[in-house]
């Protein structure tokens, strides 16, 4: 190769790289389409494709394609999607990592008929696309002219593909940051709306409960047993609504740093039995196992709130005929007594993909009712006590939520000097 040809190739490479680096941060498809336009001009090809792997379908999809006649024809025919299992030169490059070059695609064994017969491809070069050290796709150039590409073109494509990998990574980061910001904005708006609604709803509950209590007393005084029973059930339902509103308001207090506890000696066994008696149903029994007494220093009301949320969650996922177990134990760790409260159900378990987010706000498990605040509040109440809340579960084998806290109470924060 003459010095003039080498200089021309290096100049073409530098100009293409400079223009790639100048591309603005955009969504992935737009970035790859812009990169394909730069490459099609640099190589004089009839079509440039930047394929990325869809791992779920094991398919290479051309997210970036030049706006040339051959490129538009490819999209209209649906030939911008290549299942890896179908073979062909593009799939071979992705699988083996070996670059591909030919001036007679119609003579390549196993080449996809659509490229040859429908698009009229004769010359083809392709290299594997690597993003952050991971095999992600293929960059491919086509021409309808036989013997169109040279070995220098293939080396040029390989050099540029390294930068396309960096461009792909940058575009994916932009998409991730944008998606995270949108999700955060939606979450904050939802939280503000829920808090406002909870405040307004609570204003209506007090007169409603007073009126229901009056109806109940009248029914009792007049001996109307059925009406009294209906009033009791309605009062219980409104009380549950009141607890939901309290949970919603507690979320707001947690976010504002206003969530406080008042620790005092209490019997965990008595609390567990009280919760079991309150929440037990005719279809799902709640059993309590533990010593006769287990005294800890904690905020009884808040701990009850956490335990009720854990038990309510277990009830939602327990099939009829099974039971929910509250198991209480204690152990010495480094000379200090710690108490464990295990809430165990025998339902379908927590899906593995949900486990890392199970204590996040507004996360629900499958078809269960609720808005996804109970476990979040239980975890924050545990944290306020200097305790831990963890979950262990296997699909089909139920779940165990373990609350572990110091029997002597939460640690006292040191005062600043």
Q: Are residues 27 and 159 in the same domain?
A: yes
Q: Are residues 227 and 326 in the same domain?
A: no
Cα distance between residue 244 and residue 248, in whole Å: 6
Q: Scanning the structure block, which residue is given the tokens 């996040």?
A: 360
Domain with 313 in it: 264-406
Q: Are residues 220 and 274 in the same domain?
A: no
Q: Are residues 21 and 49 in the same domain?
A: yes
In a domain, 121, yes or no: yes
Low-confidence ranges of the chain (pLDDT < 70): 1-18, 20-26, 186-200, 202, 248, 251-259, 365-371, 412-417
Q: Are residues 273 and 302 in the same domain?
A: yes
In a domain, 183, yes or no: no
In a domain, 146, yes or no: yes
In a domain, 413, yes or no: no
Domain holding 162: CATH number?
3.30.450.40
Long-range contacts at 17-21 (CB < 8 A, ≥ 24 apart): 17/159, 17/160, 17/163, 20/160, 20/163, 20/164, 20/167, 21/163
Q: Are residues 243 and 269 in the same domain?
A: no
Q: Are residues 284 and 389 in the same domain?
A: yes
Segment 37-80, tens digit of pLDDT: 988 888 889 999 999 999 989 999 999 999 999 999 999 998 99
| Count: domains in the chain | 3
Measured from the Cβ of residue 138, the count of other Cβ atoms closer than 10 Å reads 27
Longest CA–CA separation in the chain, Å: 111
Q: Are residues 154 and 222 in the same domain?
A: no
Q: Are residues 324 and 211 in the same domain?
A: no
Segment 282-309, tens digit of pLDDT: 788 899 999 999 999 998 988 998 999 8
The fraction of the chain above a pLDDT of 90, given in percent, is: 39
Instruction: Strands of 9-58 (E only): list them.
Output: 47-54
Cα distance between residue 225 and residue 189, in whole Å: 46
* pTM for this predicted structure: 0.50
Give the pLDDT confidence score for residue 101 in this predicted structure. Answer: 96
């Amino acid at each position: 190769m003459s010095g003039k040809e080498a200089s021309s190739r290096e100049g073409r490479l530098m100009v293409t790289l400079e223009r790639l680096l100048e591309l603005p941060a955009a969504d992935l498809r737009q970035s790859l389409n812009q990169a394909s336009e730069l490459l099609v001009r640099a190589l004089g090809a009839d079509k440039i494709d930047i394929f990325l792997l869809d791992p779920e379908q094991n398919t290479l999809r051309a997210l970036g394609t030049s706006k040339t006649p051959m490129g538009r024809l490819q999209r209209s025919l649906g030939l911008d999607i290549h299942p890896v299992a179908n073979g062909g030169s593009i799939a071979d490059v992705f699988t083996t990592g070996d670059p591909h070059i030919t001036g007679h695609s119609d003579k390549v064994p196993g080449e996809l008929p659509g490229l040859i017969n429908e698009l009229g491809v004769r010359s083809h070069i392709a290299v594997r696309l690597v993003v952050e050290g991971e095999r992600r796709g293929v960059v491919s150039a086509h021409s309808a002219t036989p013997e169109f590409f040279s070995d220098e073109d293939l080396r040029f494509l390989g050099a540029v593909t390294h930068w396309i990998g960096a461009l792909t990574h940058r575009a994916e980061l932009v998409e991730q940051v944008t998606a995270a910001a949108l999700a955060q904005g939606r979450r904050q708006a939802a939280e503000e709306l829920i808090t406002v609604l909870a405040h307004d709803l609570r204003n209506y509950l007090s007169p409603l409960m007073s009126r229901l209590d009056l109806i109940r007393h009248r029914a009792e005084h007049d001996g109307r047993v059925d009406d009294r029973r209906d009033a009791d059930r309605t009062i219980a339902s409104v009380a549950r609504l009141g607890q939901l509103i309290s949970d919603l308001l507690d979320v707001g207090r947690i976010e504002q740093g206003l969530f406080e506890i008042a620790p005092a000696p209490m019997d965990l066994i008595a609390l567990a039995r009280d919760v079991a008696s309150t929440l037990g149903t005719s279809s799902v029994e709640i059993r309590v196992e533990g010593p006769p007494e287990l005294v800890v220093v904690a905020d009884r009301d808040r701990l009850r709130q956490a335990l009720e949320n854990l038990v309510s969650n277990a009830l939602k996922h327990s099939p009829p005929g099974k039971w929910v177990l509250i198991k209480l134990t204690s152990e010495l760790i480094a000379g200090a007594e710690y108490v464990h409260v295990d809430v165990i159900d025998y339902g379908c378990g927590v899906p593995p993909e949900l486990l890392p987010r199970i204590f996040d706000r507004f996360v629900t498990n499958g078809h269960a009712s609720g808005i996804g605040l109970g476990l979040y509040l239980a975890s924050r109440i545990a944290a306020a006590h200097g305790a831990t809340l963890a979950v262990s579960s296997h699909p089909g084998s139920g779940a165990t939520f373990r609350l572990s806290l110091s029997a002597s109470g939460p640690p006292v924060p040191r005062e600043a000097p």
